[in-house]
Structure 1
Amino acid sequence: MQSIITLPVTSAALSFDGEPSDAELDAIETEMPLVLADVELLDAVIKTLDRPVSKLDERRIRRARNRVVAARRGLTNRVTAVQSGGAA
């Protein structure tokens, strides 16, 4: 019979409470417009998987892509402004 040896618990393992830190929550909040735009784009593409793409579908996908690009641009400008310390 083999014995199971337990390792001592380290202090680093005890300090993690499983919840995100305030900095992580702020990062999530900053990226949320991009996440929502990506979800909208995926929804538009998923709607066209089982049927031919209509003109309305093309327009919906194009607008969703434009929102993703705008959200990425806004996030990039915000991150760049924070890193440089100035206004973008």
Structure 2
Amino acid sequence: MKYIGALQAVVTADLSDREPTGAELDAIDLEMPLITAEVELLDVQIMTLDRPVSELDARRIRRARRRVLAARRELANRTADLSTSEVGA
């Protein structure tokens, strides 16, 4: 009698064991400015959790939000440019 379960472990690869592909790394690299801006916004928001928000804190939050929006806009424009260049090719 053969056990099928032992054979399936060899056939089925665990997704957590693989390295990221080049395309996945390129996508992460493309999104890195947005990721950095979102982390900075989160840092500013965390700073203001345990105290009342001062005018300076409010400015920091507004600036960080503007950086996130600018990074999202640039990413959207880049991906739109990439998709139109792929269609035209």
TM range, normalised to the smaller chain? 0.7 to 0.9
More helix by share: 2
Aligned to 1:59: 59
Name structure 2 gaps, 5 residues minimum. Answer: none
Aligned to 2:27: 27
Alignment partners' CA distance in 1, 2:49 and 2:83: 41
Task: Give the AA of the match of 2:81.
Answer: A
User: TM-score normalized by structure 1?
Assistant: 0.83
SS of residue in 1 equivalent to 2:7: coil
Per-residue deviation, 1:17: 5.6
Equivalent positions of 1:46-85 (< 5 A) are 46-85=46-85
Considering Cα pairs closer than 8 Å and 6+ residues apart, tell me whether 1 or 2 has the greater RCO: 2
Which contiguous aligned blocks of 4+ residues in structure 1 show a shift greater than 6 angstroms? Answer: none
Taking only the aligned residue pairs, the percentage that are identical comes to: 59
Name structure 1 gaps, 5 residues minimum. Answer: none
Aligned residues: 82
